[in-house]
Amino acid sequence: MKEELLTIETGQVRHKQLCADVEDSRIYEILAENGLTEGTVVIWQVNKIRWGTFRDGHITFADGKPEQTALWLEGRFFNEKGEAHLTREKSFIKTQLFSIRVLLDGEGESCEHVDTLSRFWGECKAQDADWITLRDDDRKLEQIVPAVADQARFYGLVTRSYIGYDAVTAQAGYQDYRYVRIASADQKGEI
């Protein structure tokens, strides 16, 4: 999907701040309440980063292993419509309580935003209907991310940054951001 990146677009965004216990599946209720029933998930655990997909209250990770919420430090559940960003605060480290910030496009306050694409390290070494394996052979690094429709050599993460204005100085800047999707990051003229 070709799109115009790095241009200011207008729209609407709604922001919510919550706190929830992920052990009791409350996160799936929060996702469903906000229309986030399917999309991509990335989880930072104490021992690794895991990519996966979520649909109707179930996560499928690239490694095929089940959720390990006790090891979660941070997570982002996202799609074109919005994102739920979970953060285990230091004061919650011995609990399953997470601070959750939800951003939803298409409703709420008027805003401006800019979409950017940041390329993942490594190039596509394998792809099937569900997963893409990205590998940097020189550094012996590999990650497996959810598949997208476009076939490409390189992939990246589209991030949406919301523009805000300081009330005193009227200076513009990014006030928040969210993940949107994984996309082809091939550039014209690349070998």
- Domain hosting 149: range is 111-184
pLDDT at 68: 87
Q: Are residues 106 and 132 both part of a single domain?
A: no
Do residues 92 and 18 both lie within one domain? Answer: yes
Is residue 134 domain-resident? Answer: yes
Evaluate whether residue 126 is within a structural domain.
Answer: yes
pLDDT reported for residue 110: 95
| 75, 150: one domain | no
State which of 110, 143, 164 marks the end of a domain: 110
Residue 113 has what pLDDT? Answer: 97
Q: What does the alpha-carbon distance between residue 183 and residue 174 come to, in Å, rounded to a whole number? A: 22
- Same domain, residue pair 26 and 85: yes
Residue pair 179/118 in contact by the 8 Å Cβ criterion: no
Residues 20 and 81 in one domain: yes
- In the sheet that holds 49-55, the strands lie side by side as 58-61, 49-55, 38-45, 72-78, 82-87, 97-105, 8-21, 109-119, 155-165, 172-184
> Are residue 47 and residue 126 in the same domain, yes or no?
no
Do 25 and 90 belong to one domain?
yes
Instruction: Give me the pLDDT at residue 85, please.
Output: 97
Residue by residue, DSSP assigns 18-30 as EEEEGGGTHHHHH
Count Cα neighbours of 13 within 13 Å in the Cβ-side half-sphere: 23
Residue 30's Cα: distance from chain center in Å?
16
In a domain, 1, yes or no: no
Residue 104, CA distances (Å) to 14, 19, 29 in order: 5, 17, 16
Is residue 6 in a domain? no
Do both 77 and 134 map to the same domain? no
Cα dihedral sign, 33-129-22-56: positive
| Whether 63 and 126 share a structural domain | no
> What is the rounded CA–CA span in Å between residue 102 and residue 13?
10
The domain boundary, picked from 73, 91, 110, lies at 110
Predicted confidence at residue 106, as pLDDT, reads 94
pLDDT digits (tens, 9 = 90+) for 24-76: 678 889 999 999 999 999 999 999 999 999 998 899 999 999 988 888 999 99
Residue 128 and residue 155 share a domain: yes
- Report the C-alpha gap between 191 and 183 in whole angstroms: 19
How many folded domains does the chain comprise? 2
Specify if 8 maps to a domain. no
Ranges under pLDDT 70 in the chain: 1-3, 24, 91-94, 188-191
Q: Which residues contact 140 (CB under 8 A, 6 or more apart)?
A: none
Residues 77, 122, single domain; the answer is no
Question: What is the sign, positive or negative, of the torsion defined by CA atoms of 21, 24, 30, 31?
Answer: positive
**pLDDT value of position 190:** 56
pLDDT the model gives residue 3 = 63
Question: How big is the chain by its Cα radius of gyration, in Å?
Answer: 17
Q: For residue 31, tell me if it sits in a domain.
A: yes
| Residues facing 87 on adjacent strands | 74, 99
Classify residue 190: in a domain, yes or no: no
For residues 18 and 85, state if they share a domain: yes
Nearest one of 148, 79, 159, 156 to 116, comparing CA atoms: 159
Query: Which run of H or of E encompasses 146?
Result: strand 141-146
Residue 140 domain-assigned?
Answer: yes
